[in-house]
Structure 1
Amino acid sequence: MAIGPILVTGGSGQVAQALKVLAPGRDMEVQVLGRPEFDFDQPETLRAVFASQPWAYVVNAAAYTAVDAAEADEAGAERANRDGPGLLAELSALADIPFIHISTDYVFDGSKGAPYLETDPTNPTGAYGRTKRDGEERVLASGGKSIILRTAWVYAATGKNFVKTMLAAGAKLPKLRVVGDQKGSPTAAADLATAILDIIAVIETRGWEPAFGGIYHATGSGETTWHGLAVATFAEAQRYHGPSPEVEPIATADWPTPARRPADSRLDNTKLAQTFGVSLPQWRDSLARTIDQLLGPQG
């Protein structure tokens, strides 16, 4: 029996589009909505969409993700990352619908020196991280069937992301300078979308259990730096005679940005595996598949 309809916010975003592609193969019906019909800056649109039909699940993949721009527009980031998700979680709670919300590794300051657990204290270093942390708190305060997935370094063959930016820059320049002292775990949007569908499948099979609610970490397995991800991107691109610039590692201090990024935002994904039996693939394997999509015959 088909599962749905599942409301997916985020419009043309990477995760929303991945869910749109992958859900039909799982016999799940998703409706992906974005601006103008669904707009966190217009709360009445959320209520209208929610009232338009009886949703089975809600997945919030919409967010204000411009990390540096958020420093000058924290009010806008608050509406998209705190107020909107909070209202959506409240509407879901009133309707007794499971709500899955995507958050970020940027809720941490990166000073732990080891992968973060869900129970570690948050300490965001910028407006983006603050508003996402505040959004988590609003979602949990709704009292509904809420699941928060913190992820990181998301990329795909669609949308704007680091991998595509590197390929475009490498095609124009013989040498690139990329930050090499920030650690994290690249996450393919398709892998995160698959994890979300897997979680929904578990809930469908077992019914909602109180232990399901709360925060989980969901990133690609393994770790690297932005420099490491760039080098790996060009190594994979070589299979299709893609660009192969020299990639020089630089320090964060050598690439100043309005927002301060966490130096080590690796996340521990054990809880997700223990609760739902869900683990995301190794990031390097997923990167190879994404390069296949971008540069291969079907790209």
Structure 2
Amino acid sequence: MAFEENKGIYVIAEQFEGKLRNVSFELLGQARQLADTIGDEVGAVLIGKDVKPLAQELIAHGAHKVYVYDDAKLENYNTTAYAKVLCDFYNEEKPNVFLIGATNIGRDLAPRIANTLKTGLTADCTGLSVDDDNKTIVWTRPALGGNIMAEIICPDNRPQMGTVRPNVFKKPEADPNAKGEVIEKTANLSDADFLTKFVELIKLGGGGVKLEEADVIVAGGRGMGGDEPFKTGILKELADVLGGAVGASRAAVDAGWIDALHQVGQTGKTVGPKLYVACAISGAIQHTAGMSGSDCIIAINKDEDAPIFKICDYGIVGDVFDVLPKLTEAIKKAKHA
């Protein structure tokens, strides 16, 4: 089928409390690469209250056009209202592609848009490319428990849609001299478009560094043996010394040793810190799918044949309870030298 009227690869930008999420910038970087391949333009759609000043950040990171829906009624995310806005946007502007972050909001919003527009949706993508034959987007995602990587296309419907995991792609450098067009749009909404009502924001997870935003993550697995290393013990101590966050494998979370907010992996969070220290983690695909994009990986494990050693930059074969205290002490001394 021909879709000559469909133009542009558009990122649905996500913001919270007046600050853009990093995943929006990551997607703009990928959108530029895809657009350069197929000769298309890059755009962004920004929704919220008092969000117009954020448009220039999107332009600096690669958007040629930013469509802004700035409305007090859209201050807080609302599934049906946001979906209505974006479906109206599609019907008016006919974008070729929608890129959406696989965040809590994105995973809620994308299926409703796809269902309304009667198009396909590929969820939790970890790779994007272009089919050379028909210039459609190839969406790559883990399948069958991460044992294979599926490549999915949507040749017969528009827009092409996919949600992409945060931290899979690197955030592009901002160009403060970049020029782009900011287009203000009006949201055509009635009370019937708001099927739920925002009552109160409850922030979970307490203080400290957010896992997905941390430059350093010290993660523990089944071999930690209990909750103490995660809460006050050797994992927490090393993370604090490095100014990082504590992560965990699914086995540690399932054992009840730490909250699921700290889980890294295919069913947890995808992270891409500068340093990832994997402690007593074997390296199953379920876990490595969520952290293999880290700049530097240090693995500590008693089993010299553990799969984690195949992907790490530095490996230490040893008991984590012997290694970590020495490592933490050495870092403390180096910092005070």
Normalising to structure 2: TM-score of the pair? Answer: 0.32
Instruction: Please state which structure has a larger fraction of its residues in helix.
Output: 1
Q: Which has the higher contact order (CA 8 A, sep 6+)?
A: 1
